[in-house]
Amino acid sequence: METFSKKEKEKARQKKRKDKEEKKEERKASAQKGQALDLMMAYVDENGNITSTPPDPRKKRIIDQEDIQIGVSRQEAVEAQDAVRQGIVTFFNASKGYGFIRDLQTQESIFVHMNGLIDAVGEQDKVTFEVTRTPKGLNAVDVKKVV
């Protein structure tokens, strides 16, 4: 005895098999026709876009191999600044363990994590700190509260 769902599943399987056979026949038919090579060719233009028109040989540019940069470009060395800076804590969330310090000299906001603290700090506290560069930006370490 076949249930309704079994019949439906069998119908779906047969339909899928039929569709697969039809696609197979279409592929065989299109392969026998054969397309012109020009219709199958694709080119890349000077902007990196795929196009059907071949490049113009008169617009060809010669590129020196040394001019090609792979990866991150080199950064200029930052001038040596004072090792110890002074700033004011503009924000600190003790429950999350991070905050920001406004550098008094450069007025830039520098991230600080609780692992970089020597003394406990709160908002509007004056602090001294050192700066390290991380992939995400500047980080304050050895943060001490100024009395």
pLDDT tens readout for residues 12-41: 999 999 999 999 998 887 766 656 676 778
pLDDT of 1 higher than 70: no
Task: Record the pTM.
Answer: 0.45
Per the rule left: phi > 0, alpha: psi between -120 and 50, beta: everything else, 103 is beta
CA distance 117 to 96: 14
pLDDT tens readout for residues 70-86: 887 666 665 555 588 99
pLDDT of 120 higher than 80: yes
